[in-house]
Structure 1
Amino acid sequence: MKPDPLQCWQQAHRILCVRLDALGDVLMCTPAMRALRDAAPGRSLTLLTSPSGAAALPFIPEVDEAIVHAAPWMQSELPAGPAGLTALASELAARRFDAAVVFTTYTQSALPAAMLCWLAGIPLRLAHCRENPYHLLSDWVEDPEPRRMVRHEVQRQLELVVRAGVPRQAAAPPLSFALRAADLAAVRVRLLRLGIDADRPWLLLHPGASAASRRYPAGHWARALGLLVRRTGLPVVLTGGALDAALVEDIRAGCGVPTHSLAGQLSLGELGAALSLAAVALTNNSGPAHVAAAVGTPVVALYALTNPQHTPWKVRSRVLFQDVPCRFCFRSTCPAGHHACLAGVEPERVVEAALELLAPRRPAPVMQAAEVRLDSG
């Protein structure tokens, strides 16, 4: 007599969660990981993730530890070679996990990670998959996307863990990003040095994005900031990594109004703290948009039509784009070369969106993935 699969999952205490993507992708898995952890007493989660995804670990209380690996089947500048993959399989085997859950977006295959977990001898292996995985997955959830639907990434992962015995959520849970007192204090000091009272309204602009196709043009940001500061009189702080410094300075030079830069100066924890203190965050479709959503800050998201399922989750937001025939290309660089889905968004629309979120009125409806597919913006 075969054992009951749900009972097997209920008895699984050491679970490997696989999400080999970037920061925002890991954050969008946190509701599912939280539900997975809470479904059985004494359960611990280990996250197998990319170097950029691992940066989120200190801020995700659902996860106990991380294993970092640059997988060759994922987008990575320096993927690990065959020896690194063999060593990883050995490490996973030595840790004797009871189960593994492979989280993917619908454009990715779970099979390489499933093979890795099979080689490591992990008895329970769960993932979405379009192809028949045969023995690579003990729990196969046939992938309905994109043929029958496209769900928000958070909804996709919550539905996956239902197969592991996790109850369906009555209300959609928020993302996780645990703020730290030291980061909040440090950001308050930085803002004070810029002449900004953190307890009064101010705006944060994070203009960078890892993919070129997701970056709103610098000239558009500059015009939007100039109009917004003249309309509101609010202070504006621009953030970004060290590689964004030139972009930030181009925007500041072109906007014609006083602004401040903390580009290259904030740790991830401090960026989360800054986002939590801002009245409104303005971003591209990037990791900081999901950090802002996790800490509850309203977001104006300049949303390149590369992926329909990554809109800000459970937070007041305005998702701005220009509909184009080539929408949902899933490309890191614009294949047509015109960037029309972002370049076609007039800066005045950005200003109006920010003003709506600043206004003390009824919360705006949050645009979900299905709405992004249908609306022209």
Structure 2
Amino acid sequence: MKKILVIGPSWVGDMVMSQGLYIELKRLHPESQIDVLAPGWCKAILDRMPEVNEALDMPLGHGDFDLRTRYRIGKVLRGANYDLAFTLPNSAKSALIPWFARIPVRTGWKGECRYGLLNDLRTNKRAFQYMLERYVALAHKKQEMTGSGCLGALESLPYPKLSLSADALEQALAKLKLNMDRPVLGLCPGAEFGPAKRWPEQHYSRIAEELIDKGHQVWLFGSKKDTEVTSQIQQLMSESSRAHCTNLAGRTSLIEAIDLIGACQTVVSNDSGLMHIAAAVGCNVVAIYGSSSPKYTPPLTSKLRVLNTDIECRPCFQRECPKQHLKCLVDLVPQHAIEAIESFDQVRCDES
């Protein structure tokens, strides 16, 4: 049995997508044991990945070097006798712990000064367009991964699939005084990266009111940082519509958010970590793209509608709009999202 240590990413979306690697490793090595070293907040996500044996707490935050702590962690991990290590972040410091742990085979993509730290160094990252491809490619031997397309189409790759808990959902519903009397539209209007990824609040309030008028209820998801945005969305709505709109930003743990998003029929989201969670729990996903692009990290689901404008300055991949007009988002009118949501209903009717 191979014992595998993965140095996991530090962003929600990247962590969700990393499940593709674990699924592929289990397919190739069914008896393997996969442990993932990642920040403590990732445990909620990793606990919903059946392929992961244990989530190991990484005490250092994103950007912290702290050589002494990395050496201490590596020395402790020597006793686990891992056979393989996969380092998913691109930094040199992220490759130190497997080296300190003396893991025989240390795999990862070429990054900043990682020669020696990784002894199974992959150099043809650009042959793979999508992050999921890059993760899955690491599970295969270097000589098998020689060029673009060697893994097949994106749809053929193992998509993340987070498990859900009916009991945990019931507890979350009771705690937050929610019910399932109406079908749920989830809205994820935040974006950790910056305002150039955030669809305007008035657009979100418009689709919320439209769907509430058609018999839905709306749950607003986000972290404490998103409470100003979600509160503004509610304030823009009529009083009658607000009665069917619940602001959950900052009120749920990540594990509760996973189950509650899983209870939504459709989720409309900016390009964010919650967008990837919605895809991984099986929701219909309407993905809003402003400054970014789905050509690298798209939501990994077949139940997807991607919305963006085609103005010449996007995608710019900037946190703030360089032209200070945010036309890529402002000009993406709510009606497009409403039509996308309704298209899922039409597909369901056609299938029935």
Shorter-chain TM-score range: 0.7 to 0.9
1:172 aligns with 2:157: yes
Task: Tell me how far 1:265 sits from its aligned partner.
Answer: 2.8
CA distance change for structure 1 residues 286 and 362 in 2, over 3 Å: closer, same or farther?
A: farther
Which runs of structure 2 are paired with 1:26-105 in the superposition (5 Å)?
26-69=15-58, 74=62, 76=63, 79=64, 81-104=66-89
Match of 1:124 in 2: 105
1:249 aligns to what? 231
Q: Output the amino acid matched with 1:85.
A: R
**TM alignment of 1:165-314, pairs within 5 A:** 171-189=156-174, 193-194=177-178, 196-197=180-181, 200-212=182-194, 213-230=196-213, 232-256=214-238, 257-258=241-242, 259-307=245-293, 308-314=295-301
2:116 matched residue in structure 1: 135
Runs of at least 5 residues in structure 1 that lack an aligned partner in the other structure: 1-10, 364-377
Q: CA deviation at 1:296?
A: 0.8
Distance change >3 Å, CA 323–CA 51, structure 1 → 2: farther
Q: Give the aligned residue type for 1:159.
A: A
Which one-letter code corresponds to 2:157 in the other structure?
A
d(CA) in 1 for partners of 2:252, 2:105:
40
Classify 1:92/1:255 alpha carbon distance in 2 versus 1 (closer, same or farther; 3 Å).
same
- Deviation string for 1:129-184 (max 9, x for gaps)? 26895433222222342xx5522x22221122122799968943231311123212
Counterpart CA distance in 2 for 1:57 and 1:250 is: 32
1:348-363 superposed matches below 5 A? 348-359=335-346, 360-361=348-349
- The structural deviation recorded for 1:333 is 4.1
Partner AA of 1:150 in structure 2? Q
Which residue of structure 1 aligns with residue 129 of structure 2?
Answer: 150
Is 2:326 the partner of 1:339?
A: yes
Give the Cα–Cα distance (whole angstroms) in 2 for the partners of residues 81 and 285 of structure 1: 32
TM-aligned CA deviation for residue 303 of structure 1 = 2.0
Task: Specify the code of the residue in structure 2 equivalent to 1:87.
Answer: R
Deviation at 1:278, TM superposition (A): 1.5
Identify the match of residue 315 of structure 1 among 302, 323, 338: 302
- The structure-2 alpha-carbon separation of the partners of 1:87 and 1:324, relative to structure 1 and needing over 3 Å to count, comes to farther
Of residues 11, 14, 18, the one that matches 2:7 is 18
- Whole-angstrom distance in 2 between the partners of 1:178 and 1:19: 19
Pick aligned residue for 1:113 from 87, 90, 94: 94
Cα distance per residue 1:347-373 (max 9 Å; x no partner): 22121111212322568xxxxxxxxxx
What is the alpha-carbon distance in structure 1 between the residues aligned to residue 112 and residue 232 of structure 2?
A: 47
Amino acid at match of 2:54: E
For the residues of structure 1 that align with 2:287 and 2:303, how far apart are their CA atoms?
Answer: 11
State how far apart, in whole Å, the 2-side matches of 1:35 and 1:298 are.
25
Is the 1:23–1:52 contact (alpha carbons within 8 Å) kept by the matching residues of 2? no
* TM-score normalized by the length of structure 1: 0.78
Query: What letter matches 1:297 in structure 2?
Result: C
CA 1:93/1:336 → structure 2, altered by over 3 Å: closer, same or farther?
A: farther
State whether residues 110 and 129 of structure 1, in contact with CA within 8 Å, keep that contact through their aligned partners in structure 2.
no
Using structure 2 for the length normalisation, give the TM-score: 0.83
Contact 1:32 1:158 in 2 (8 A): yes
SS of the aligned residue for 1:314 comes to: coil
Give the superposition deviation at 1:281: 0.8
Choose which of 119, 132, 140 in structure 2 pairs with 1:162: 140
Deviation at 1:80, TM superposition (A): 5.3
Determine the C-alpha separation between the residues in 2 that align with 1:96 and 1:194.
Answer: 47
Conserved 8 A contact 1:174-1:294: yes
Question: Among the aligned pairs, what percent are the same residue?
Answer: 27
Q: Look up the SS of the partner of 1:154 in the other structure.
A: helix
Check 1:131–1:235 CA distance in 2 against 1; reply closer, same or farther (3 A cut): closer
Per-residue CA distance 1:173-213 (angstroms, 9 max, x = gap):
2313111232122244468x45642xx52211122222223
- Could you list the per-position Cα deviations for residues 216-246 of structure 1 after superposition, in whole angstroms to 9, with x for gaps in the alignment? 221221223233333x232222222233223
CA contact 1:27–1:290 (8 Å) conserved in 2: yes
Is this contact kept in 2: 1:215–1:284, CA < 8 A? yes
Cα distance in 2 between the residues matched to 1:314 and 1:195: 26
Letter in 1 for 2:253: S
SS in 1 for 2:186: strand
CA-CA distance at 1:16 after TM superposition: 0.8
The structural deviation recorded for 1:41 is 4.4
Structure 1 CA distance for aligned equivalents of residues 104 and 315 of structure 2: 36
